[in-house]
Amino acid sequence: MASRADNIASNMSLANFSKATELKNRIWFTIGALIVFRFLSFVPLPGVNPLILSDLYDQTRGGILDLFNTFSGGSLERMSLIALGVMPYITASIVVQLAAALHPSLAALKKEGTVGRQKLNQYTRYGTVFLCAIQGWFLASGLESFGAQSGMQAVVDPGVMFRIGAVISLVGGTMFLLWLGEQITSRGIGNGVSLIIMAGIVAQFPTFVSNLGSGYSEGSIATGIIVGLIAMVVILILGICFMERAQRRLLIQYPKRATQRGMMQADRSHLPLKLNTAGVIPPIFASSLLLLPLTITQFAGNSVDTDSAAGGFLQSVLQYLQHGQPLYMTLYALGIIFFCFFYTAIVFNPEETADNLKKNGGFIPGIRPGKRTEEYLDYVLTRITVIGAIYLTIVCVLPEYMIAQTGVPLFLGGTSLLIVVNVTVDTISQIQSHLLAHQYGDLIKKAKLKGRLR
């Protein structure tokens, strides 16, 4: 019986996949939801001329908003209803999680289980609406003066009504994306918000290939740069796959127990600690925190006279925070390192893990249960988190600097690749888990049927 189950678990063929009806429905639902997301990225804001806006955006390429445009799947470039994407939600979740770690009442909510998490999620949605309203107002204000120096007007009828309509549309678009992501998580496969971000990045791939091909044909991009980029992408993908699967396995031993034959046998297991426990969250959090003020500064600068003191200050901020600039790289690296440790502390609690081991009679050989186990877990986790933070910083910051120096489009940045690879691996793992559960379910049904026949 056991050997047959192992054979079924190891043989994940297309025939077995075709029988998993629920899994196929989940995959089709996920694909349909992502198609809806892509359709929405082509619906422009009311009162915006998309043709003039496209020409104006081409004149300002290479700025910090290219990263925002990549995460939103080109929605910012077309100024669609979902131009802000899910970044305001991510920023709001950062603020709520920080507040839950520092404020006693919010920390108590977090420990209340499902009810507490629902309240925290509600606070996060309120914060998302607030951030969307602020970003949307500055975005609409910047659009009204966008291209004024070149004599082009992206907004058909500027005024207060346009700004209010744009804010309402942008808030509604972002909240619809959050709802769509929740539906993917519950009724589809994978994490909905992560899949939406990944879909936006992958959607820019044809544009990147087209720009790379046109640059090569025009002679602006040398053959060596293209070969180097391909080699860098392959090395990054292999390195990300290796590091994301790397883990430190701690031996857990349980007291000797009597078996059916009367023998005393000690049980052993392992506690796996991932090298990168925080996953893709740190670079996304760091990017969203940088994009929030930079989005406001970018579009607020369009409505401010550059000769004035305020205009000069905004231009200086935008200049020093461009990709490849030391200040941007420093802030980005510090943000990644901070959120590595912060999110790891949220995901893994050494005190709770040590208490669970003590209650179940488990212990780490050579380490006393209780406080000593907690200190040892915290010590090991801190050491591997340092390695994980260095790995994430190199993967995300170094390619961004190289791409900024070569002038190649931003699609192949380390952050984008990290998100795509992580979300793809996580989604495939969930598909395999659903398929494995379906196969074992069929095995149990067959075993019950044979038992009844006998």
pLDDT tens string 347-398: 888 888 888 888 878 888 888 888 888 888 889 999 999 999 999 998 888 7
> Per-residue pLDDT averaged across 316-325, rounded?
68
The band of 277, judged by pLDDT with boundaries at 50, 70 and 90, is confident
The answer to whether the CB of 30 falls within 8 A of the CB of 68 is no
Read off the amino acid at residue 37: F
> Per-residue pLDDT averaged across 29-54, rounded?
84
- The domain locations on the chain are 2-453
**Sign of the CA dihedral running 181, 187, 188, 191:** positive
Q: In the CATH hierarchy, which fold is given to the domain comprising 2-453?
A: Preprotein translocase SecY subunit (1.10.3370)
Rounded CA-CA distance 6/12 in Å is: 11
The band of 31, judged by pLDDT with boundaries at 50, 70 and 90, is very high
Q: What is the pLDDT of residue 221?
A: 73
pLDDT tens string 180-216: 999 999 888 888 888 888 888 888 777 777 777 777 7
Rounded CA-CA distance 246/244 in Å is: 6
Radius of gyration of the chain (CA): 26
Q: What is the pLDDT of residue 314?
A: 63
Rounded CA-CA distance 250/103 in Å is: 33
pLDDT reading at 323 higher than 90: no
- Count Cβ atoms within 10 A of the Cβ of residue 373 and give its class: 0-12 exposed, 13-18 middle, 19 or more buried: buried
Q: What is the pLDDT of residue 179?
A: 93
Tokens, residue 77: 């470039």
pLDDT tens string 75-131: 666 778 888 888 888 888 878 887 887 777 877 777 777 788 888 888 899 999 998
Rounded to 5 degrees, φ, ψ at 373 are: -65, -40
- Partners of 250 in beta bridges: 271
pLDDT reading at 450 higher than 60: no
pTM value is 0.76
> Highest-confidence range of 103-112, 235-244, 309-318, by mean pLDDT?
235-244
Q: What is the pLDDT of residue 373?
A: 87
Q: What is the pLDDT of residue 55?
A: 66
DSSP 296-337: HHHHHHHTS-TTSHHHHHHHHHHHHTSTT-HHHHHHHHHHHH
Q: What is the pLDDT of residue 154?
A: 72
Q: What is the pLDDT of residue 35?
A: 92
Tokens, residue 195: 């899949």
Torsion of CA 440, 444, 447, 452, to 10 degrees: -160
Q: What percent of the chain has pLDDT over 90?
A: 9
Q: What percent of the chain has pLDDT over 70?
A: 73
Buried b (16+ CB within 10 A) or exposed e, 387-402: ebbebbbebbbebbbb
Q: What is the pLDDT of residue 445?
A: 60
pLDDT tens string 125-176: 999 999 899 888 887 887 777 655 566 677 777 888 888 888 999 999 999 9
Rounded CA-CA distance 48/162 in Å is: 9
Question: Of 293, 251, 257, 302, nearest to 273 (Cα)?
Answer: 251
The answer to whether the CB of 253 falls within 8 A of the CB of 265 is no
